Amino acid sequence: MDGDVAVGVKRGSDELLSGSHYNSPNSSVTSNGSDSKKLRVEENPPSRVIHIRKLPNEVSETEVIALGLPFGKVTNILMLKGKNQAFLEMGTEEAAITMVNYYTTVTPQVRNVPVFIQYSNHKELKTDSALNQRAQAVLQAVSAVQDGSSPNSESGGSESVLPAPSPVLRIIIDNMFYPVTLDVLQQIFSKFGTVMKIITFTKNNQFQALLQYSEPVNAQQAKLSLDGQNIYNSCCTLRIDYSKLVNLNVKYNNDKSRDYTRPELPAGDGQDSSMNKDSTSLLGSPTAAPFSSGGGYSSSLCLAQGRGAISPLSAAAAAAAAAGRVALAGHSGSSGVLLVSNLNEEMVTPQSLFTLFGVYGDVQRVKILFNKKDSALIQLSDGNQAQLAMSHLNGQKMYGKIIRVTLSKHQTVQLPRDGLDDQGLTKDFANSPLHRFKKPGSKNFQNIFPPSATMHLSNIPEDVTEEDLRLLFSNAGGTVKAFKFFQDRKMALLQMATVEEAIQALIDLHNYDMGGGHRLRVSFSKSTI
């Protein structure tokens, strides 16, 4: 059996083959019998140290701690990642008994993988702090969060943490500078159990979601671990509470709602159900998204990369983040390649795609497909930039056609072999001087907005007039509705008649040579004139 070996720790070992009570529906072990001819099993007496086996690879300390959180205070942890095992010390024996009894009837899961839980031979854990530093830092951070969330948790007994009143969570996202897709929510929350249904909506100008687990205990684990955490650096803060509902009624599987138990549900609203799993913007058309203020775009999820997150639990969250706590949406390792379809094949070029998608990330390569020239692969620097570009540009109009943007299976965009003429369909932009996000701390990180009719212009020469700019943008094929110089006249706002016209103007005029070494910089603005 994988992992069924004696595990050496400083104080001896738990003899896994000599007798313990395995609390799992998958196990036929009983206290007075055996589950094989070779294995004689005796039930271990209760202990406040819990032994957890069959953990999935790359499991985090937080995910293991989350198994014990609903039952009381967790006071110590020892990870044995090489053996896919861990030891969890609860505050009291009563809390451990409650935990083991619960998981006797409900299969414990980590990352949707069943794990085995049993009492340990140890009565307490004595861990070498030097070897176990990371786990201890995570435990301290989670304990701080738990103490803030559960005033009674000091007692640590079975009555200290009330069971979750509902398997349904109500999630409010504060400081929502970037769209949070339904798939991102599913990824974050599925780390704590099976997510069955999600409904998203906007109420009081706030993006909210209702999320239903298969078990109330999963909702409790998720609330304790995620409440107050940020999805992206310093923004998109999760506020989580229990819903009064105990069951969600989902009618459609689309970008606003999903019932994962009923894949046959219609998309509704005329949406293409085949696009649903590819996570279009939850807020409908990105142009209608309620971005109330400009935030700092994160090149990676804050907790995924161990960066400090600003939140109501800032001290605990920062400590947890520094210890490499939970990777929320987990995009840091995902592909940065997008598939863009329904392009106007008569008009589109690698350069035009580079310019438009470059608003949301540093485009490395573009490949228009040889046998399907209305589709292209676009490789950005990382998965987060790809996700951001997808959420903003899917469903937008480019050269008269509504484009579709999804994540690609490909990890990279292949360049043509040396000497092979691909008719200019593939272009490498890795060394382009036009990348907006190469410089750390660049103001461009604070100025990422959905496509809008109003554009922000910068790097304008002193002798260029309003009339010059109106004429320039009119010639790009649209109507200039309004114009406003900033005080220093080096920057301006210019509003086109439609978002499509603004997209066209940005493609044509970003990096336009204004003379005297000035190249015009064009981006979308959240402002109106």
pLDDT at 396 over 60: yes
User: Which neighbouring-strand residues pair with 114?
Assistant: 109
Token pair of 149, please?
Answer: 């969330």
Look at residue 67 in the predicted model and tell me its pLDDT.
86
pLDDT at 201 over 70: yes
Local structure of 503: helix, strand or coil:
helix
pLDDT at 24 over 60: no
Taking CA atoms, 490 is separated from 79, 359, 471, 519, in Å, by 57, 20, 17, 12
**Residue 270 per-residue DSSP state:** T
CB-based contacts of 278: which residues, under 8 Å, 6+ apart?
390, 394, 406, 407
- Helix pair angle (350-357, 499-509), 10° resolution: 110
Better-predicted residue by pLDDT, 69 or 352:
352
Structure confidence at residue 144 as a pLDDT band (50, 70, 90): low
Which range among 53-62, 390-399, 467-476 shows the weakest confidence by mean pLDDT? Answer: 53-62
Local structure of 78: helix, strand or coil:
strand
pLDDT digits (tens, 9 = 90+) for 36-70: 333 333 467 899 999 999 998 878 887 888 888 77
Question: Contact at 8 Å (CB) between 132 and 211?
Answer: no
Give which of 271, 244, 107, 110 is closest to 182, Cα–Cα.
271
**Residue 254 per-residue DSSP state:** S
pLDDT at 456 over 60: yes
Spatial separation of the C-alpha atoms in residues 281 and 387, rounded to whole Å = 10
Q: Where are the alpha helices (DSSP H) in 445-526?
A: 466-475, 499-509
Question: Contact at 8 Å (CB) between 64 and 88?
Answer: yes
pLDDT at 293 over 90: no
Look at residue 333 in the predicted model and tell me its pLDDT.
41
Token pair of 125, please?
Answer: 């854990």
Token pair of 463, please?
Answer: 């002798």
Token pair of 379, please?
Answer: 């490789």
pLDDT digits (tens, 9 = 90+) for 274-286: 333 333 222 222 2
Taking CA atoms, 104 is separated from 25, 30, 97, in Å, by 7, 12, 11
Token pair of 215, please?
Answer: 């078990």
pTM of the model: 0.43
> Mean pLDDT across the stretch 381-385?
85
Give which of 338, 24, 297 is closest to 177, Cα–Cα.
297
pLDDT digits (tens, 9 = 90+) for 240-252: 999 988 889 999 9
pLDDT digits (tens, 9 = 90+) for 163-174: 567 899 999 998
Spatial separation of the C-alpha atoms in residues 475 and 38, rounded to whole Å = 84
DSSP annotation string for 45-73: PP-SEEEEESPPTT--HHHHHHHHGGGS-
Look at residue 413 in the predicted model and tell me its pLDDT.
93
pLDDT digits (tens, 9 = 90+) for 260-271: 888 888 987 544
pLDDT digits (tens, 9 = 90+) for 303-319: 333 333 322 223 333 33
Question: Contact at 8 Å (CB) between 480 and 495?
Answer: yes
Structure confidence at residue 302 as a pLDDT band (50, 70, 90): very low
pLDDT digits (tens, 9 = 90+) for 204-235: 888 999 999 988 888 888 888 888 888 876 67
